[in-house]
């Protein structure tokens, strides 16, 4: 079997066009503030893409590139100002933050209605209790891709490799909320292939280049590769694409799979936050 490629780039383009059309009809503009602390090269690329996408769809954006030595207090003060800004409806703090800054404290400082990434404990709790509100962008993008390709989740075994708060755990919860039977694997899972071989839906989010080989995948599985790894100057996923595509029924490429979906979900979430805030006024 040769897998059908799940074209995240094309699906994301459709979503961007939809957001753009909706934004064009609004009286005021949704606004997103993105905060980057320090010099992480990958993070810089991501925030620039996010800002460019906002421009493209007509979302107002403010980008704060703060120096590495920014203190937690300064960061919290900036968030405090953005919480009050009438122009801003979503606040995004690009992770990871420098170690000396308390990530949880910073994320909790974002006003709940502006929590565009869904990382606040309240939104995590809502997701965990099946009352999804603002949902993290990458996991939401994974689910949207599955929906776009008409892949039903009920009665399916879904295996998620990775248990981070940003990708693995929320993805597992979204799959569970949609009636998949979910297993979460991590770096201390004994015999990873034992689980992956049972997966009808396999989501790889470990950050380990080509971790998932063909012999770890069930014939006809749907394989979603979240991983972004730079190897010898090239981007590769967590899945050995060349071999796994001969066994899977559907597979996402890297790049061009989950990555563009993440950005599309961010602008969709910004529009949702805007609607929620303006509705309440």
Q: Catalytic positions, please?
A: 50, 94, 117
Whole-number minimum distance, CB 237 to ligand NDP, in Å? 8
CA–centroid distance for 165 within its chain = 11
Q: Measured between alpha carbons, how far is 18 from 209 in angstroms, rounded to an integer?
A: 34
Size of the site for ligand NDP (CB under 6 A): 26
Interaction between residue 244 and ligand NDP (CB under 6 A):
no
- Residue from the set 30, 136, 139, 162 that interacts with ligand NDP by CB under 6 A: 162
Residue placing its CB nearer to ligand NDP in the complex, 88 or 258: 258
- Rule CB under 6 A: say whether 212 interacts with ligand NDP: no
Under rule CB under 6 A, residue 211 binds ligand NDP: yes
Residue 163 within binding range of ligand NDP, rule CB under 6 A: yes
Please give the Cα distance from 126 to 133 (Å, whole number).
7
Q: Which of 40, 189, 243, 249 binds ligand NDP (CB under 6 A)?
A: 189
CB of 103 to ligand NDP, least distance (A): 12
Tell me the C-alpha distance between 14 and 144, whole Å: 12
> Which position has the token pair 């936050």?
273
Q: What residues between 7 and 46 interact with ligand NDP by CB under 6 A?
A: none
Q: Give the distance between the most distant pair of CA atoms in the chain.
A: 55
Asked whether position 187 contacts ligand NDP by CB under 6 A, the answer is yes
Only one of the segments 23-31, 99-107, 148-156, 226-234 lies at the binding site for ligand NDP (rule: CB under 6 A); that segment is 226-234
Residue 77 or 187 having the CB closest to ligand NDP: 187
Q: Nearer to ligand NDP by C-beta: 19 or 167?
A: 167
Nearer to ligand NDP, 30 or 237 (CB): 237
> 33 Cβ partners below 8 Å, 6+ apart?
61, 62, 63, 64, 82, 85, 88, 90, 91, 92
DSSP 212: B
Q: What is the separation of C-alpha 199 from the centre of its chain, rounded to a whole number of angstroms?
A: 21
- Sequence-ordered list of residues with C-beta below 8 angstroms from that of 106, at least 6 positions apart, any chain: 72, 75, 76, 79, 93, 97
Minimum distance, C-beta of residue 117 to ligand NDP, in the bound complex (Å): 11
Q: How far apart are CA 261 and CA 234, in angstroms?
A: 20
Contact criterion met (CB below 8 Å) for 146 and 252: no
Structure tokens at 94: 């690009």
Pick the closer one to ligand NDP by CB: 78 or 226.
226
* Contact with ligand NDP (CB under 6 A) among 91, 135, 166, 174: 166
| φ/ψ (deg, to 5) at 57 | -100, 0
Q: Annotate each residue in 130-159 with x if it binds ligand NDP (CB under 6 A) or - if it does not, as one string.
A: --------x---------------------
CA dist., res. 62 & res. 50, Å (int): 11
Query: Smallest gap, in angstroms, from Cβ of residue 214 to ligand NDP?
Result: 17
* Residues 72-111 close enough to bind ligand NDP by CB under 6 A: none
Q: Evaluate the omega torsion of the peptide bond into residue 255 and state whether it is cis, within 30 degrees of 0.
A: yes
* DSSP-derived secondary structure for 22-42: HHHT-SS--EEEEEEES--HH
Which residues in this chain contact ligand NDP in the complex, by CB under 6 A?
138, 161-164, 166-168, 185-189, 192, 205-208, 211, 226-229, 258-259, 262
């Amino acid at each position: 079997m040769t897998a059908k490629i799940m074209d995240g780039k094309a699906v994301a383009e459709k979503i961007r066009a939809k957001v753009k059309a909706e934004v064009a009809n609004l009286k005021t503009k949704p606004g997103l503030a993105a905060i980057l602390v320090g010099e992480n090269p990958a993070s810089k690329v991501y925030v620039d893409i996010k800002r460019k996408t906002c421009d493209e769809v007509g979302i107002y954006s403010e980008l704060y590139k703060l120096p590495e030595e920014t203190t937690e207090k300064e960061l919290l003060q900036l968030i405090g100002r953005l919480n009050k800004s009438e122009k801003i409806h979503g606040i995004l703090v690009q992770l990871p933050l420098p170690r000396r800054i308390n990530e949880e404290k910073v994320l909790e400082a974002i006003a709940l209605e502006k929590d565009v990434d869904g990382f606040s404990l309240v939104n995590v709790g809502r997701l965990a209790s099946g009352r999804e509100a603002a949902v993290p962008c990458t996991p939401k993008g994974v689910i949207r891709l599955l929906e776009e390709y008409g892949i039903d989740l009920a009665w399916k075994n879904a295996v998620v490799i990775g248990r981070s708060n940003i990708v693995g755990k929320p993805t597992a919860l979204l799959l569970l909320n949609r009636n998949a039977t979910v297993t979460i694997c991590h770096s201390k899972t004994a015999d990873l292939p034992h689980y992956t071989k049972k997966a009808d839906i396999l989501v790889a989010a470990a950050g380990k280049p080509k971790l998932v080989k063909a012999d770890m995948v069930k014939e006809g599985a749907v394989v979603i590769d979240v991983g972004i790894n730079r190897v010898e100057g090239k981007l590769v996923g967590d899945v050995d694409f060349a071999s796994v595509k001969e066994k899977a029924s559907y597979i996402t490429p890297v790049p061009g799979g989950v990555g563009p979906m993440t950005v599309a979900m961010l602008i969709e979430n910004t529009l949702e936050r805007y609607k929620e805030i303006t509705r309440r006024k």
